[in-house]
Amino acid sequence: MAKRDVPEINAGSMADIAFLLLIFFLVTTTMDVDTGISRKLPEKQPEDMPDPPKLKEKNVFVVTVNRNNDILVEGETFMTIDQIREEATKFIDNGGGLGNPIDDAEPAECDWCQGAKDPLSSDHPNKAVISLESDRGTSYGTYIAVQNELVGAYTDLRNRYCEEKYGISYTQLLKDSKNNPTNETLKDRIKEAKGKYPQIISEAEPTK
């Protein structure tokens, strides 16, 4: 009895099929992507900036966040995150100094400030320093939230200044300048607003 020939399986297209399946899974599979924290870095200081003078205690606004995420302002008052911006704004915009025409290190009186002009608070926006201190146990979420509120205080003051002088907010000027980077008028207005309310935030090393 003659042996029957065993039919062969045509595997010529198996490689093509495997390749197509590989592409399919690559296209349809979702990859886990680590997300970071969106945070704007502190503004770059000008190169010709003189050596920092000795700071008066009243010109420093100290915000401390401990390991329990409690927020202590000026070493005596506990606050919530939503209270920080208002207190920082009052401090920056206080304008309590009268200036000293003899001493160039002392800026002239702040005639655009609308604060209480408390002699026990900051003299001038150019002198007002915000010091942010934290503990190694402080959560990143709380620390970033406090940072955002402090930066927001400067943005609010710059918005107010630009709206009163130019009829447009500082935030809108930034957007317009991004869309039209060659517009020198926009650049000058942004630079002026930053000069009126320079962002001076000192972030100390976390305590153990």
Asked if 129 and 92 touch (Cβ cutoff 8 Å), the reply is no
pLDDT of the chain along its 208 residues, tens only?
555 665 666 655 677 777 788 888 788 877 665 555 555 555 565 566 555 557 789 999 999 999 999 999 998 889 999 999 999 999 999 999 876 655 556 677 899 999 999 999 999 999 999 999 999 899 999 999 999 999 999 999 999 999 999 999 999 999 999 999 999 999 999 999 999 999 999 987 777 6
User: Residue 117 region, left (φ>0) first, then alpha (ψ -120 to 50), else beta?
Assistant: left
- Classify each residue of 11-47 as buried b or exposed e, where b means 16 or more C-beta atoms within 10 Å of its C-beta: eeeeeeeeeeeeeeeeeeeeeeeeeeeeeeeeeeeee
**Model's pTM, two decimal places?**
0.74
Tokens of 167: 């009829």
